């Protein structure tokens, strides 16, 4: 047997012990957002430090102004080093009465399809995912005495409460965290049998728009028909953002946007993401995005402009017939690779100012943003990881973009200069952040085996 085959066999033989270790980790109620659980967060961090030290890694529980950050490091002189990131903190469990079992008493149950699943808070997000990587390292070290690549493991305790102390930690430890590539296991598979690698994350620009017309609220009978209504003004401007074809009409908005390669679009076309299975469950029938774009493109590789809230005037019970003096809207734009958040902000603001009628003024209260992050489709590490996943799952992984944002990936690129591969084994029905969170036993088992294969592939 090859070393790889022996390591995979060890993973299979030690699965019960791996589950037992995960259960010990899951029993610690490391809820980061509630300061009452600060001692439990520290206990979870120390548990992981002790476990990594038992593998022979150089470990440390690094104090921060908040919850500590765990680091573990192997130094065998390999030609390549990877930085693995995860988090040990979990979401609150409320409402407790909706849990079928106590959230910090992990249990294996049988799901509706007969698949076994681990039920506990943190089982999928993110303790179960973290331990897939740790267990892969454990199996390698047990069989060969070394890892195929040098590894730095960094697991934080504040992801669920904003990761406020992580960016300065990266800056302060830039040299010791240097690696050829970062690996993140906090994402999902495409479905229960199809692995996925997330290769892009949309960025974000959000702003608050305040339009003022008259110097006070007005009687709608006395001034109606003559005085400008800021709600009308703002509504008209917002309505003009999208053309009939769904294209965003703001000049300069698409500057820098690059089309995905044709072969990637062809792969997306085979994913069977239809309006029926994507929009149907939320009570909608058809997409409203750009004409000629697939649903995958609309939600991952194209920028967006959305109104998150809009208000003004009287919104209480009953009637109050006024023309308000002020109208406000909160907007957010999801950005893709190549777009500059500051440029998009300025383009949006210029578009709004250009349409303001006489006697109306506008103020902007935010304008904050973060750029999108993308891994080049010709990155050799992406090809190696994809090949490893295909070997394990019997089918090629889907390379997709994520519609949301994971700020740490941007920090890895900006601070450490590292590209990131996001390889996760969660499923869409894992109920993360909800009662009865679960992680399929297959996700845990084959997740470990997948990391074994990926580490071997990255070393080649």
- E strands of 97-256, at which residues? 107-110, 116-119, 150-156, 181-184, 196-201, 203-212, 218-219
Cα–Cα distances (Å) from 274 to 281, 285, 290, 451, in that order, read: 11, 10, 15, 31
Q: What is the DSSP string of 310-322?
A: EEES--SSS---E
Model confidence at 376, in pLDDT bands (50, 70, 90)? confident
Asked if residue 407 has pLDDT above 90, the reply is no
Q: Between 3.40.50.620, 3.30.70.20, 3.40.630.10, 3.40.50.2300, what CATH number should domain 3-201+372-459 receive?
A: 3.40.630.10
Report whether CATH 3.30.70.360 matches the domain 203-257+303-370: yes
Cα–Cα distances (Å) from 16 to 3, 23, 117, 339, in that order, read: 22, 11, 14, 47
* pLDDT, tens only, 313-338: 999 999 999 999 999 999 999 999 89
Cα–Cα distance, 311 to 305 (Å, whole number): 18
Phi, psi (degrees; rounded to nearest 5) at 62: -90, 115
Cα–Cα distance, 311 to 12 (Å, whole number): 57
Model confidence at 369, in pLDDT bands (50, 70, 90)? confident
Residue with tokens 């699965």: 15
Q: Which residues contact 276 (CB under 8 A, 6 or more apart)?
A: none
Asked if residue 406 has pLDDT above 80, the reply is no
User: Lowest-confidence range among 43-57, 280-294, 404-418, 423-437?
Assistant: 404-418
Model confidence at 401, in pLDDT bands (50, 70, 90)? confident
Model confidence at 129, in pLDDT bands (50, 70, 90)? very high
Strands 203-212, 150-156: pairing kind: unpaired
Residue 352 is inside which H or E element, if any? helix 341-354
Model confidence at 87, in pLDDT bands (50, 70, 90)? very high
Closest residue by Cα to residue 159 from 182, 184, 178, 134: 184
Report the pLDDT value the prediction gives residue 403, as an integer from 0 to 100: 76
Q: What is the pTM of this model?
A: 0.84
Q: How many helices (H) and strands (E) would you count in the chain?
A: 14, 19
Cα–Cα distance, 23 to 285 (Å, whole number): 42
Q: How remote is the C-alpha of 395 from its chain's centroid?
A: 24
Phi, psi (degrees; rounded to nearest 5) at 451: -65, -35
Report the pLDDT value the prediction gives residue 1, as an integer from 0 to 100: 86
Report the pLDDT value the prediction gives residue 410, as an integer from 0 to 100: 86
Q: Is the peptide bond before 95 cis (omega within 30 degrees of 0)?
A: yes
pLDDT, the chain, mean? 95
* pLDDT, tens only, 336-360: 989 999 999 999 999 999 999 999 9
% residues pLDDT > 90 (the chain): 87
CA–CA–CA angle 292, 298, 301 (5° rounding): 110
Cα–Cα distances (Å) from 423 to 3, 32, 109, 130, 160, in that order, read: 23, 24, 25, 11, 19
Helix 441-459 and helix 127-144, axial crossing angle in degrees, nearest 10? 50
Return the SS3 of 56.
coil
Cα–Cα distances (Å) from 325 to 218, 330, 364, in that order, read: 7, 17, 16
Residue with tokens 């506990």: 120
Asked if residue 112 has pLDDT above 90, the reply is no
Cα–Cα distance, 27 to 47 (Å, whole number): 11
The answer to whether 135 and 448 have CB atoms below 8 angstroms apart is yes
Cα–Cα distances (Å) from 291 to 243, 287, 423, in that order, read: 10, 9, 31
Report the pLDDT value the prediction gives residue 402, as an integer from 0 to 100: 82
Asked if residue 245 has pLDDT above 90, the reply is yes
Asked if residue 285 has pLDDT above 80, the reply is yes
Burial of 84 (0-12, 13-18, 19+ CB in 10 A): buried
Q: Which two tokens stand for residue 30?
A: 């490391």
Span 403-411, average pLDDT? 80
Longest CA–CA span in the chain (Å) reads 90
Domain map (residue ranges) of the chain: 3-201+372-459, 203-257+303-370
Strands 203-212, 306-312: pairing kind: unpaired
User: Lowest-confidence range among 155-164, 400-409, 412-421?
Assistant: 400-409
Intra-chain end-to-end CA distance of the chain, in Å: 18
Q: What is the spatial order of strands in the sheet that 438-440 belongs to?
A: 107-110, 116-119, 438-440
Report the pLDDT value the prediction gives residue 373, as an integer from 0 to 100: 86
């Amino acid at each position: 047997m090859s070393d790889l085959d022996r390591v995979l066999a060890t993973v299979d033989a030690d699965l019960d012990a791996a589950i037992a270790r995960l259960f010990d980790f899951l029993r610690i109620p490391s809820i980061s957002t509630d300061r009452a659980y600060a001692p439990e967060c520290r206990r979870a961090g120390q548990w992981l430090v002790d476990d990594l030290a038992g593998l022979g890694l150089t470990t440390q529980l690094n104090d921060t102004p908040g919850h500590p950050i765990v680091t573990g490091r192997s130094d065998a002189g390999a030609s390549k080093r990877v930085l693995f990131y995860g988090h040990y903190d979990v979401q609150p469990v409320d409402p407790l009465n909706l849990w079928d079992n106590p959230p910090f008493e992990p249990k294996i149950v049988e799901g509706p399809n007969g698949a076994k699943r681990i039920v506990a808070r943190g089982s999928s997000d993110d303790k179960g995912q973290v331990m897939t990587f740790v267990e892969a390292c454990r199996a390698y070290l047990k069989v060969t005495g070394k890892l195929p690549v040098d590894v730095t493991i960094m697991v934080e305790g504040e992801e669920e409460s904003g990761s406020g102390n992580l960016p300065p930690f990266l800056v302060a430890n830039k040299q010791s965290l240097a690696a050829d590539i970062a690996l993140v296991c906090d994402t999902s598979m495409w479905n229960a049998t199809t692995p996925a690698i997330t290769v892009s994350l949309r960025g974000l620009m959000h702003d608050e728009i305040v339009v003022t017309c008259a110097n006070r609220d007005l009687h709608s009978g006395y001034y109606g028909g003559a005085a400008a209504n800021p709600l009308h003004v703002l509504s008209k401007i917002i309505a003009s953002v999208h053309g009939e074809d769904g294209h965003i009409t703001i000049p300069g908005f698409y500057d820098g946007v690059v089309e995905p390669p044709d072969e990637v679009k062809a792969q997306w076309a085979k994913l069977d993401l239809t309006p029926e299975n994507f929009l149907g469950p939320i009570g909608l029938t058809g997409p409203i995005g750009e004409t000629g774009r697939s649903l995958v493109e609309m939600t991952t590789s194209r920028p967006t402009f959305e109104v998150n809230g809009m208000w003004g005037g009287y919104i209480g019970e009953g009637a109050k017939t006024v023309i308000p003096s002020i109208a406000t809207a909160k907007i957010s734009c999801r950005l893709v690779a190549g777009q500059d958040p500051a440029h998009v902000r300025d383009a949006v603001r210029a578009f709004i100012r250009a349409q303001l009628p006489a006697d109306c003024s506008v103020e902007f209260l935010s304008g904050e943003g973060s750029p999108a992050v993308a891994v080049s489709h010709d990155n050799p590490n992406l090809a190696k990881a994809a090949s490893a996943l295909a070997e394990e799952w019997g089918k090629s992984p889907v390379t997709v973009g994520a519609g949301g944002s994971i700020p740490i990936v941007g920090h890895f690129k900006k601070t450490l200069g590292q590209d990131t591969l996001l390889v996760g084994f969660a499923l869409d029905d894992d109920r993360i952040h909800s009662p009865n969170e679960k992680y399929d036993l297959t996700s845990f088992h084959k997740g470990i085996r997948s990391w074994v294969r990926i580490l071997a592939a990255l070393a080649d």
